[in-house]
Structure 1
Amino acid sequence: MSEARAKVLAYLQAQHAMTIASLGEDGVWAAAVFYVNDGLRLYFLSAPTTRHSRNIAHDARIAVTIQEDCADWPQIKGIQAEGRAVEIAGEEERRARELYGAKFPVVGKLAQAPAAIVKAFAKVRWYRFEPERLYFIDNSAGFGHREAVDCSAPA
C-alpha cells in the first residue's frame, strides 16, 4: 500500500462528515453528511427526498470533500474526491449498516435509540460513493501540497 493511500485511510477513519457537491435539475448543491468508509469506498445515508439524493438520482457524478476545521493556512488538511454515488440495497446495505453502526453507535443500537431517530432512519436510503479521483491535501507539507491516490489499486 502506498504511503499516500495509508494516510488517506487513516484520515477517513478519524473524520466523520463529508460535504457532497451534486448537480441536478435545479443546479448545483452541497450538503454535509456523516459517512463510514470501507477502504476508499464511502457509505452514507440520506432521505431520498433531499436535494442531494434527488441530484444523485439525476446524475450519479458527485464530488466530496472531507476536512478539519482550522484557522491557519498551514493547518489545512483533507480529502478532495470525485466519482459516482449510487443507492444500495441487500447485502451491501447490510454491510454499510454494520460499518456505520460501529462508527456511530446510535445506529448500531437503533432498537435502543430515541423514537425520533428510529422514525427518521425508517425513511432513509443508503448510498455508496466510489471515488475515481482522490487527492490528499496537506498544507503542513507545503502550501497547496496535494497527493494523488490511485483509486484503482487494490487495498
Structure 2
Amino acid sequence: MSALREKVLDYLKARHAMSIASCGAEGVWAATVFYVHDGFTLYFLSSPTTRHSRNIAHDARIAITIQEDCADWHEIKGIQAEGRAVEIGGAEENRARELYGEKYPVVGKIAQAPAFIVKALAKVRWYRFEPEKLYFIDNAAGFGRREAVEFRND
C-alpha cells in the first residue's frame, strides 16, 4: 500500500464527522454526519426525511469533505472526495452497524443507550459512500498541496 493511501486511512480513522454536499429538487445542500470507514468505503446513517437523504435518493452523486478546524491556512489539512452514496441493507447494513458500534460505543451498546438514541436509530437508514475521486490536502507541505488517491486497481 502506498504511503499516501496509508496516510489517508489513518486520517479517516482519527476523524468522526464529514460534510456532504448533495443536490436535489430543492437545489444544492450541505450537511454534516458522523461516519465510519472500511478501507475507503464510508458508511453513515441518517433519517430518510432529511434533505441530504432525499437528495441522495434523487441523485446519488455527492461530494464530501473531512477536515480539521484551524485558524491558519498553513494548517489546512483534510480530504475532498466525490462519488456515489446509496442506501444499504442486509449484511452490508449489519457490517456498517458493527463498525459504527466500534467507533461510537453508545450506538454499539444499544441495550445501554439512552432512550432517545434507541428511538432515533429505529428511524434511520444506512448509507454507503464510495469515492470515485479522492484528494488529500495538506497545506503544511505547501500552499494548495493536494494529492490524488488512485482507485483504478481497487
- Please give the secondary structure, in 1, of the residue aligned with 2:85: strand
Q: CA deviation at 1:110?
A: 1.0
Aligned pairs for 1:2-151 within 5 A: 2-151=2-151
Give the whole-Å Cα distance in 2 for the aligned partners of 1:152 and 1:93.
26
Distance 2:153 2:7 in 1: 15
C-alpha deviation, 1:152, in angstroms = 3.4
Could you tell me which runs of 5 or more consecutive residues in structure 1 were left unpaired when the two chains were aligned.
none
- State the TM-score, normalized to the length of structure 1: 0.98
Q: Give the CA deviation at 1:149.
A: 0.1
User: Partner amino acid for 2:8?
Assistant: V
The CA deviation string for residues 109-148 of structure 1, in whole angstroms up to 9 with x for no partner, is 0111011110000000000000000000000000000100
Residue 41 of structure 1 contacts residue 128 of structure 1 at CA under 8 Å; is this kept in 2? yes
- What is the letter of the counterpart of residue 141 of structure 1? A
Unaligned runs of 5+ in 2: none
What is the identity, as a one-letter code, of the residue corresponding to 2:144? Answer: G
Q: Percent identity?
A: 78
For the residue of structure 1 that corresponds to 2:123, the secondary structure is coil
How many positions carry a matched residue from both structures? 154
CA distance in 1, matches of 2:114, 2:103: 18
Query: Do the aligned partners of 1:47 and 1:124 also contact (CA within 8 Å) in 2?
Result: yes
Matched position secondary structure for 2:48: coil
Task: Note if contact 1:40-1:151 (Cα within 8 Å) is conserved in structure 2.
Answer: no
Alignment RMSD, CA only?
A: 0.6
